[in-house]
Amino acid sequence: MVSYDPNRIIGAIQEEAELIARGAESELRLGLFHGAKVVYKLRTRKPYMDPALDSRLRRIRTAREARVIAAALEGGVPAPKLYMVLPSAGLIVMEYVEGPQLKNALWRGLIDPSRAGYDAGFILGSLHSLGIVHGDPTTSNYIVSNRGLVLIDYGLSDFTSSIEDRAVDIHLFRRAVMSTHAGVADKLYRSFRQGYREGLGPEAGEVLERAREIELRGRYVEERRKSVWRM
Among this protein's residues, is 136 annotated catalytic? Answer: yes
Regarding whether 46 and 13 lie in a shared domain, the answer is yes
Amino acid, res. 107: W
Look up the domain containing 133 and give its range.
102-230
User: Can you tell me the mean pLDDT for 153-175?
Assistant: 97
Exactly one of 136, 158, 165, 186 is catalytic; name it.
Answer: 136
Amino acid, res. 94: M
pLDDT at 223: 44
Higher-confidence residue of 25 and 101: namely 101
Higher-confidence residue of 23 and 114: namely 114
User: Can you tell me the mean pLDDT for 93-104?
Assistant: 97
Strand partners of residue 22: 27
User: Can you tell me the mean pLDDT for 84-91?
Assistant: 94
Residue 76's nearest CA partner among 33, 123, 120 is 123
Regarding whether 205 and 107 lie in a shared domain, the answer is yes
Cβ atoms of 20 and 28 within 8 Å: the answer is yes
pLDDT in tens, 108-153: 999 999 999 999 999 999 999 999 999 999 999 999 999 999 999 9
Question: CA Rg, the chain, in Å?
Answer: 19
Regarding whether 132 and 88 lie in a shared domain, the answer is no
Q: Which residues contact 5 (CB under 8 A, 6 or more apart)?
A: none
pLDDT at 224: 43
- The whole-model pTM stands at 0.90
Q: What is the CATH number of the domain that holds 140?
A: 1.10.510.10
Q: How confident is the model at residue 4 (pLDDT cuts 50, 70, 90)?
A: low
Q: What is the CATH number of the domain that holds 18?
A: 3.30.200.20
Integer Cα distance of 65 and 213 in angstroms: 29
Cβ atoms of 82 and 70 within 8 Å: the answer is yes
Q: How far, CA to CA in Å, does 110 sit from each of 113, 122, 172?
A: 9, 20, 23
pLDDT in tens, 167-216: 999 999 999 999 999 999 999 999 999 999 999 999 999 999 999 999 98
